[in-house]
Amino acid sequence: MDRVAIIGASMTRFGQRDEWITSLLAEAGTACLEDATVAPDDIDHVYVSNMASGEFEGQTGIMNALAHDLGLMPAYAQRIDQTSASGGAGAYAAWQSVASGASELTLLVGGEKMTHRSTAEATDVIASITHPVEYKHGLTLPSFAGLTARLYLHQYGAPRESLAKVAVKNHRNGLDNPHAQFRKEVDLETVMESPIVADPLRLYDFCPITDGSAALLFCPESVAQEYTDDYVVVSGIDGATDTHVVHERADPTTMGGVVESSRGAYEMADRTPDEIDVAELHDMFTILEFLQSEDLGFFEKGRGWEAVEEGVTDRDGELPINTSGGLKSKGHPLGASGVAQLYEIYQQLIGDAGPRQVPAEIGLACNVGGFGNCVTTTILEVAG
């Protein structure tokens, strides 16, 4: 079977932006087409990853807006919503469109506009994914993180400081990312003394609210070289779900969607966790980096925190995690994040990551929606 290649990638600056959703999508989409020198009317399919443009901004139908704004018509256009995992789900849809032969050239653009809302309003939009029995108690995504972090520290004897070290590491990485929302180092003391948001988690354990967009261009590997020499291959990709109601999981410190989606991605790529050179994980909260690094098979259950303590996941470590700065420092415009994770892996694999560059031929991105409710894991490899 002809594999699927990524031949172009782009992302906007993440942070507080004046532009609204359609402009952000157009900015990333235009840059991606220019990156691959592809004409807009060559695009067969366009997918827009976005969680809540209607709820945040009152703008729906954004896939049609983008097709029109970029001159992609009559391309097939579809919006992909899988909450925070919309970007990864969009990559899966884009991959399917090319792998099935339905499209020869698919553009994926993820984006979200959030910062015009207050923190309370944005929290409510995101919390609207919860089940009625959760929503009526005021459950939020940060509160799920607090519940899980307390249990993780209790079950595995991890020190509270180990969570803070995820924030310190990812902020350090983000310092070298020109697209990141926060290009500022933070020290352990700052994290540990920041205000409590959901005990035992503090302000610096959480990603910010962000505007931004990112894009990728997919085609069959057999024709990739007609466009560029700088392409990578999607060697493995899979998506999975876990319970909608978080407390129904037998072990809240295990994300079943991560386990299942990565199993599928590894199998498709014929790879094992120890072959991964670099990974972008969904560190919406610091605790999530521990959970995913374990559920992806990088480390034993309950020992992901030790890897962070020992520097294994540092940029110069054995397995660099979140060289982009992660959601923590780069920012988390919901629908864009999964696409931006793959942008970072793409940059790493083609050797264009600048000061963030690490030696890498195989990279993995794990994009998580809800509190592990839906997950896509993607493995990219250098061509050849």
Partner 1 sequence: MTLEAGQCFNGHIRYPVHPRCPACGGEIETSIDLSDETGEIVTWTESMSTPPGVRSPNPIAIVEFSVDGTAVRAIGQLTTNEVGIGDAVRPAFTDELRDVDATMLREPESQGWDGYRFDPIR
The footprint of partner 1 on residues 38-67 (CB under 8 A) is 55
Nearest-approach distance from CB 144 to partner 1, in angstroms: 8
Tell me the residue ranges of DSSP E strands in 26-168.
45-49, 76-80, 106-112
Three-state secondary-structure class, residue 211: strand
CB 60 within 8 A of CB 17: no
Restricting to residues 218-247, name those near partner 1 by CB under 8 A: 243, 245-247
* Range 322-361 burial, b when 16+ CB lie within 10 A, else e: bbbbbbbbbbbbbbbbbbbbbbbbbbbbbeebeebebebe
Inter-residue contact 381 to 235 (CB < 8 Å): yes
Q: Which of residues 241-300 bind partner 1 (CB under 8 A)?
A: 243, 245-248, 252
In the set 125, 192, 382, 383, which binds partner 1 (CB under 8 A)?
A: 125
Q: How far is the CB of 284 from partner 1 (least distance, A)?
A: 14
Distance CA 242, CA 333 (A): 23
Q: Give min distance, CB of 382 to partner 1, in A.
A: 41
- Distance between CA 326 and CA 282 in Å, rounded? 7
For partner 1, give the closer residue by CB, 127 or 358: 127
With beta carbons less than 8 A apart as the criterion, state whether 93 and 85 touch: no
Q: Are strands 106-112 and 212-220 parallel, antiparallel or unpaired?
A: antiparallel
In the complex with partner 1, the residue whose CB is nearer, 89 or 139, is 139
128 touches partner 1 by CB under 8 A: yes
Indicate the SS3 state at residue 80.
strand
- Amino acid at residue number 11: M
Residue list 174-203, contact with partner 1 (CB under 8 A): 195-201
Q: How many residues bind partner 1 (CB under 8 A)?
A: 41
19: contact with partner 1 by CB under 8 A: no
Task: Please state the closest distance from residue 10 (CB atom) to partner 1, in A.
Answer: 31
Binding flag, residue 112, partner 1 (CB under 8 A): no
Give the contact letters, 132-161, x = binds to partner 1 (CB under 8 A), - = no.
xxxxxxxxx-xx--xxxxxx--x-------
Q: How far is CA 182 from CA 15, 111, 311, 328, 384, in A?
A: 8, 18, 22, 9, 36
Closest approach, Cβ 12 to partner 1, in A, equals 26
CB of 154 to partner 1, least distance (A): 6
Q: Which residues bind partner 1 (CB under 8 A)?
A: 55, 119-121, 123-125, 127-128, 131-140, 142-143, 146-151, 154, 195-201, 243, 245-248, 252
